[in-house]
Structure 1
């Protein structure tokens, strides 16, 4: 396959079979290079991991489910190193090119899967989402991005980053294929509609007023009550982001400690700095962050228990250019984590999709109770149909 976008890893082709008939027949599947696929190595965006990988002899169960449903595997895709970034860069294998705007970052860490779908090289992009690695590249590339309820999909033979946040997820160009994917991976159907849409003022205060107004105006077609609240929780977004990052860094260090201690020179300096930050956290910091997470999750459960759906912008600011300074990348990551961390801390699903007739690179997200994935899809289909 010709790949001018650097979406795919440059592996020799191996035969990966798929069912001749199934709900995903005719769909091309791109798989993030964190999942094992028989006949291929798994590099996780790192040269040392690639060297130690060997050729896998079995396929991750979730990937096999997609193949058994008829999806045709077209390759393993590029990822940020160790899946530990939101930018899309990789010093070992290069940064994929954003087909929507080649001047902008592709977003990460599921960068290659997003770019493959956006460039028309695949119909389904399988990735992972820990701190936004499905939702952010989906938003940057104008795609649908689904972060499922935590624990709802099989994550065996998937290299971890932060297991209590890691979720396999998907990207497609439109909602209908994503709805088909949801069915194929066993998400239960939902006939109920949200009782109301909730807009949290503290969340929308993080973005430009004009964009916020356009987003809220797009909800009117849903023909259901819109409620407003001052804040989504008793904690500030900044406090929630700090708790999230603290837990993430500790778990990321634990997942990659052996690699780093054996080959510290094999890890990019920015990734290494984040890993080392996790190694230096004391137990009290992590315990405090875990306490915030527990309280926040309980508050969200109470908030969403009556089929309420929270609407929020997917990104807190416009994505930077691919040649921006590291400080710009850091500012972008920090701003976006304040919104992206909500699903991670709560374990709740989130569905991101571009807004039609909205100026700029704008993505809206629906955030619902655990297990409400299909209800979010039904609401998104209703919004897009109007």
Structure 2
């Protein structure tokens, strides 16, 4: 059991948080077990993960007020502590993780030091911002519809979505349990892989033999992504057989996939949280409130149709990859939006983002985001999408590629 040091303990919270990445109630630290494989590393924890004896805020003061203080620590957090890493505080999340933008109506928007004047992306906003600012070596996040992959791309850090169900989401405030995954972000490839070696099961090696470039997915992203995606693909092509291919069967199919994800996840989120929302009437920011209104109005029939579509997508994507394929896709649809972007601009980016990120979500597959840069220096992420359970092999392949590319530092 790791002793919790409160903010009143001298030296307990030693972070100069000038970027607004940490939540007020999460300013404490836990010391890792000395001598472990992650000793010397410091990590932040997205304020969805429970830590025994301390409140979980989930990005919303009404959540914190109306939920009891946890008595159990998330197994993911505990594994990292047991491996020697020091937990240095809890990081900000968009409200109940229901956004990929990175702002929070109650706590503000963390600064993105890698792209000043632009949002960090969400919902793992504080984690991505803290890692980009070198306030910690790595940080835990979650990814339901893109909540780690998008901020990783916007902030120029390493990130991923894990295979669905591979890491425990117990003792974790949920958004949509049938899509939620536990994740992490890191500012360098070595740390990113070390964390993976600690958290992920040590399964047999995956032999990637086919590099796939689904051009219909690439078309959803702005042109600044295209050279970077092709650059990653060319390196893979030098290592294995390459193939340009369409992932979907029609021009509008990725939009249909997005809608299926939105409907299925919204219905799941409402079923998970409706009692709390109806009983507590929590205050949400306008954009998040609009999503909860949509979730409330999503019918069981619509959700059932979305689930049927999900089964087809799952089969199609998994068949596309097989047991030895790796696809190269953008991690997001654009560079990080400006903090004063209009709602219309944000909605357009969000829709195109979900046409990309919903692929892994619907199919339950791992996706690793490699930090690169656009010609103007702004961060962008290029992702590798692999077969179920190939997470650790995918990370190792991604770090190999990262060493051969001018990754953003």
TM-score tier, shorter chain, comes to: over 0.9
**Residues 338, 13 of structure 1: alpha-carbon distance in 2 compared, 3 angstrom cutoff:** closer
Q: Which residue of 1 aligns with 2:304?
A: 287
What are structure 1's unaligned runs of at least 5 residues?
none
Distance 2:278 2:79 in 1: 35
TM-score scaled by length of structure 1: 0.95
Q: Pick which of 292-301 and 6-15 moved more.
A: 6-15
1:155 paired with 2:172, answer no
Deviation at 1:327, TM superposition (A): 2.2
Deviation at 1:274, TM superposition (A): 1.1
Deviation at 1:118, TM superposition (A): 0.7
What are structure 2's unaligned runs of at least 5 residues?
1-14, 405-409
Q: Which residue of 2 aligns with 1:307?
A: 324
C-alpha RMSD of matched pairs (Å): 1.8
Distance 1:12 1:289 in 2: 37
Q: Which residue of 1 aligns with 2:388?
A: 370
Distance 1:247 1:357 in 2: 34
Q: Pick which of 29-38 and 273-282 moved more.
A: 273-282
Q: Deviations over 1:253-300 (max 9, x none)?
A: 122212321233522232122112112122221111101100111112
Distance 1:355 1:202 in 2: 21
Q: Pick which of 294-303 and 130-139 moved more.
A: 294-303
**Residues 15, 80 of structure 1: alpha-carbon distance in 2 compared, 3 angstrom cutoff:** closer
Q: Is the 8 A contact 1:131 1:165 kept in 2?
A: yes
Distance 1:111 1:266 in 2: 20
**Residues 17, 362 of structure 1: alpha-carbon distance in 2 compared, 3 angstrom cutoff:** closer
Q: Is the 8 A contact 2:32 2:39 kept in 1?
A: no
Q: Alignment partner for residue 190 of structure 2, among 155, 161, 176?
A: 176
Q: Deviations over 1:230-252 (max 9, x none)?
A: 23456710000000000111111
TM-score scaled by length of structure 2: 0.90
Q: Which residue of 1 aligns with 2:339?
A: 322
Q: Is the 8 A contact 2:208 2:326 kept in 1?
A: yes
Deviation at 1:179, TM superposition (A): 1.1
1:25 paired with 2:31, answer no
Deviation at 1:13, TM superposition (A): 4.5
Q: Is the 8 A contact 1:264 1:272 kept in 2?
A: no
Q: Which residue of 1 aligns with 2:232?
A: 218
Deviation at 1:101, TM superposition (A): 1.8
Distance 1:12 1:79 in 2: 12
Q: Is the 8 A contact 1:14 1:40 kept in 2?
A: no
Q: Alignment partner for residue 88 of structure 1, among 89, 93, 102?
A: 102
1:264 paired with 2:272, answer no
Q: Which residue of 2 aligns with 1:70?
A: 84
Q: Is the 8 A contact 2:132 2:187 kept in 1?
A: yes
1:46 paired with 2:60, answer yes
Distance 2:221 2:29 in 1: 46
Q: Pick which of 264-273 and 286-295 moved more.
A: 264-273
